[in-house]
Amino acid sequence: MTLTEFNALSEQQARQILTPCVNIAQWVDQVIQGRPYASLPQAMACATLASDGWQDEAIALALAQHPRIGERMTGDSQEAALSRAEQATLGLGEQQTLQALLLGNRQYEQRFNRVFLIRAKGRTPADILAHLHRRLGNNDAQELLETAEQLQQITLLRFQELFD
């Protein structure tokens, strides 16, 4: 899709396109209200600003749409397709690494009571595992900030990919 096409979408159409980027209505609303965009950098700046400072409630809502790292999300939704595409680049063929990620996911969920979220695109399974182990040492406030940062990275990648 071009930026011109995005600018011309109805509010409902834009909402359908944007919600799979992140299921946070406030972000979707701000990006829609920022139209029309003169350039992709302007659109990205608006999307970035709209994603700054996400708090626990918004993060929890968005995390409900994300599978555990290393698990394939099922279903026909756009969110599921995006998640499968992002995790497909991991090459999780090595059983030992996959098992370590699944164990780490369980430890993380017990520690923080939410799914471990990390931008998978551009990372190796070993890199993700190292981040997982490091983040298990975070306190709750540190981890909330890091989760928000990862969610923002995923959201902005998905938003930018709408125009690639």
Domain residue ranges in the chain: 3-161
Of 147, 161, 162, the closest CA to residue 62 belongs to 147
Q: In this model, does residue 88 exceed pLDDT 60?
A: no
Question: Is residue 63 exposed (0-12), middle (13-18) or buried (19+ Cβ within 10 Å)?
Answer: middle
Q: Which two tokens stand for residue 29?
A: 């609303």
The one-letter amino acid at 20: P
Question: CA-to-CA distance for 56 and 111, rounded, in angstroms?
Answer: 16
Q: What CATH architecture applies to the domain 3-161?
A: Orthogonal Bundle (1.10)
Question: CA-to-CA distance for 125 and 92, rounded, in angstroms?
Answer: 7
Per-residue pLDDT at 111: 97
Q: pLDDT tens digits, residue range 99-149?
A: 889 899 999 999 999 999 999 998 988 899 999 999 999 999 999 999 999
Give pTM, 2 decimals: 0.84
Q: Which two tokens stand for residue 66?
A: 């994300």
| Helix extents (H) in the chain | 3-8, 11-18, 25-33, 40-51, 56-63, 78-88, 95-112, 125-135, 140-161
Whether the bond into 36 is cis, omega within 30 of 0? yes
